[in-house]
Amino acid sequence: MEKIVLVADSNDENAREKGVPSIWHTVVHGHTNSRERAKINPWNQDEAIYEKRCFLMDDCVISVRPARYEDRIGKSQDYNKDRYFIEIANQDGSIIFSSHKVYPWDKVLELSTYFRGLSFTAATRVWKVKNF
C-alpha cells in the first residue's frame, strides 16, 4: 500500500495576520478521516484553497516503543520502566524490525540518528551491521 501525504495551502495573508503557517501536511491513514481534516488549516481553521496529493518515498520510519511490562503471575509491576525498544519500518508498516535490547530514553534517541534520512533498504543494512 502506498503512503500518501496531502499538502494543503490556505489564504497566506490570513495566516500571516494570525502568525500561523498557511501550508500544512496531512499523512493519509486509510481508515481515518485524514482526508477531511486536510481541508482545514489546523492553526486558524481557514479552508484549504489548494491541495496536492504526494506519494512518500520509502524512507525509514523510526519508532520508539515503551518496554515497560508487568509480571502477571508474580504480581510484580513496572519491569523496564523508562526503557524503550527502537523500531524501524518501511512507510506502509508492512515490515518492522524491533530491537532485542531495551534502552534508556537518551540512548534510544542517539541510536535513532543512525537511520535519519535513510531509505528503508539502507536502514536494514545498518540495522544488521549494528546488531540491534
Residue 66: what pLDDT? Answer: 95
Where does the pLDDT of residue 118 fall: very low under 50, low under 70, confident under 90, or very high at 90 and above? very high
Long-range CB contacts (within 8 A, 24+) of 11-14: 11/46, 11/49, 14/44, 14/46
- 68 & 125 share domain: yes
Q: Which residues lie across from 74 on neighbouring strands?
A: none
- 83 & 103 share domain: yes
- 69 & 34 share domain: no
Residue 25: what pLDDT? Answer: 94
Domain boundaries, position 98: 61-130
Q: How many domains in the chain?
A: 2
**Residue 92 confidence (pLDDT) above 80:** yes
Would you tell me how many other CB atoms lie within 10 Å of the CB of residue 115?
Answer: 21
- 80 & 31 share domain: no
- 65 & 126 share domain: yes
- 126 & 66 share domain: yes
**Residue 99 confidence (pLDDT) above 90:** yes
